[in-house]
Structure 1
Amino acid sequence: MKPLLYAIGPLLFDSLGVIVFAVLLALHLDLVTATIAGTAAACGVVLFEIARGRAVAALQWISLAMVLFSAAATMLTGDPRFVMVKPSIVYLIVGAAMLRRGWMNRYVPPADLPLVGDVMERFGFIWAGMMFATAAANLVIAYVFTPWWPAFIGIVPLASKALLFAVHFTIVQLVGRARTRRASKLEICAAQ
């Protein structure tokens, strides 16, 4: 249970602004309220990290910048097409940031990194791919299936992240345990 909490805590924290925005849209709150709440949550995450004297992760800065930019554009234009395309822009930028090697290292305890670091690196690229796919799906839904967009944006991005997180976490745990057992067997054989 401890590895799950270690992994899920930063993931939820890093995504808090997007989660707040998506949940409020899914609850059919108006766009302005959802945008303001998402912006406040993203700002709160960065300020909390700064107040604790911790480094703010690159994805947190990107998330904050995109939420602030998109919130300003939403408030100034009031154009619903911009609002519908905005998540695709955010997902593309976040996906591009996820292409950096080692960005997932903060989601595993430092002691486990030598054991599963290669798996975490591969999943970093899988996460980037999911972000790119979500960006494309959002554009299709926004322009071809416009009436479905509020339900899509309120459910699919969060659900796909939760599903990938579950798969990712499970595989990392299984690989970590298998490698630990294999290392123990090798130590026993070497001792004999």
Structure 2
Amino acid sequence: MNNVFAKLASDFFSTIVFLAVYLITDNVLLATGVAIAASVAQVIYAHVKGEQLGFMTYASLALVIVLGSATLLTNDPRFVLAKPAIAHFAIGAIMLKRGWMLRYMPQIVAETIPEYVTIAGYAWAALMFALGAGTIAVAWTGDLKLWALYVSVVLISAKLAAFAIQYVAFRLLVTSRIRAARA
């Protein structure tokens, strides 16, 4: 589980840096510049350590550079604020693949309720699209405090709630199926 959180923190490193610097300094341009530098430094550090970088790392770097540069050139924070939405849309699109979630499930879940796992995979995709749309709506307002609250509280809380609901539902469904099979 720690590995999952480490990978998520790595994938969203530039967003975390942007948010932290912005909350400390209240300066969008400084936060954007530091986020761009941090993202580039992250990739260089990984190369120096000989780590393999995935597609998401390079995609995140490209988004940070392009959207961050647009923010710096136009002095409009909405460009960089849209980055998490693009990531959510991309992840949502990947989650539209039928059965993607089965490989992440314990064997008993994958074997007992595969149809529900597939439905949950589509529900996660819908959640990612909804959160991405919400991020765009909040970014469009240009209110950085509202955006900071949204990305640090709403995005995380929605995913944690969905995970908890899924866990309880899968546990109940597996238990029910096993009991029915024994009867």
Match for residue 80 of structure 2? 83
Structure 2: where are the runs of 5+ without partners? 25-30
Partner of residue 155, structure 1: 153
Question: 1:106: which partner in 2?
Answer: 103
AA of the residue aligned to 1:136: A
Could you tell me which residue of structure 2 aligns to residue 4 of structure 1?
none
Is 2:132 the partner of 1:135? yes
Q: Number of matched residues?
A: 165
CA RMSD in angstroms, aligned pairs only: 2.9
Higher mean C-alpha displacement, 124-133 vs 142-151: 142-151
What is the CA–CA distance in structure 1 between the aligned matches of 2:77 and 2:142, rounded to whole Å?
14
Residue identity matched to 1:134: L
- Deviating more after overlay: 71-80 vs 168-177: 71-80
Gaps of 5+ in 1: 1-7, 51-55, 186-192
Q: What amino acid sits opposite 1:121 in the alignment? A: T
8 A contact 2:67–2:83 mirrored in 1? no
What amino acid sits opposite 1:168 in the alignment? Q
Identity %: 24
Given that 1:104 and 1:120 are in contact with CA atoms closer than 8 Å, whether structure 2 keeps it comes out as yes
TM-score (norm 1): 0.70
Question: Which protein, 1 or 2, shows the higher relative CO under an 8 Å CA cutoff with sep ≥ 6?
Answer: 1
Q: Would the aligned equivalents of 2:77 and 2:142 in 1 still touch at CA under 8 Å?
A: no
> Secondary structure of 2:82's partner?
helix
Query: Deviations along 1:11-64, whole A, 9 cap, x unmatched?
Result: 5355233554555455425344456656739x96xx76x5xxxxx9xxx63x32
SS in structure 2 at match of 1:15 = helix
User: What CA distance in whole angstroms lies between the structure 2 residues aligned with 1:115 and 1:149?
Assistant: 41
Matched residues in 2 for 1:168 and 1:36: separation? 38
Aligned-partner Cα distance in 1 for 2:62–2:122: 26
Q: Which of 43, 63, 67 is the matching residue for 2:60?
A: 67
- Which residue is equivalent to 1:180? 178
TM-score (norm 2): 0.73
Residue of structure 1 in register with 2:27 after alignment: none
User: In 1, Cα distance between the equivalents of 2:39 and 2:103?
Assistant: 23
Q: Is the 8 A contact 2:68 2:79 kept in 1?
A: no
Q: Which amino acid aligns with 2:86?
A: I
